[in-house]
Amino acid sequence: MQDDDLVELKFRLYDGTDIGPFRYSQASTVAMLKERVVAEWPKDKKIAPKAANDVKLINAGKILENSKSVGQCRMPFGELQIGVITMHVVVQPSLVKAKTEKKVDDQEVARKTSCGCSIL
């Protein structure tokens, strides 16, 4: 693999800290990047992804698709090999877990707010 084919990326977390930079082949997929982010996630962070599906990567204002390669995600004026490309990381828990937690919360609220009074 030639050095020209490598892209240097770092990942900016919600609190402004970074993971990386790391060098990737332009053929690397976004799914591979997400796996690396989860593996390198700092242990002291309050919010942490449990799996790669909990992570969204954003570059140039666009959420990147798992099947796309790093080369496909680069901006047109990003052809220059100068500097590190910063991708923003958003942690979004899986939808199934969030829906389950919401149902439990709704049931608890219903129990707490229900009244057992009867008017005769």
Which domains can be identified in the chain, with CATH numbers? Answer: 3-93 (3.10.20.90)
3-class secondary structure, 85: strand
Mean pLDDT, all residues of the chain: 77
Cα dihedral 18, 19, 20, 25 in deg (nearest 10): -120
Residue 44 has pLDDT above 50, yes or no: yes
Give the pairing type, strands 55-59 and 85-91.
Answer: antiparallel
55-72 pLDDT, tens digit each: 999 888 888 898 888 888
Whether the model pTM is above 0.85: no
Distance CA 23, CA 7 (A): 5
Answer whether 54's CB lies under 8 Å from 91's CB: yes
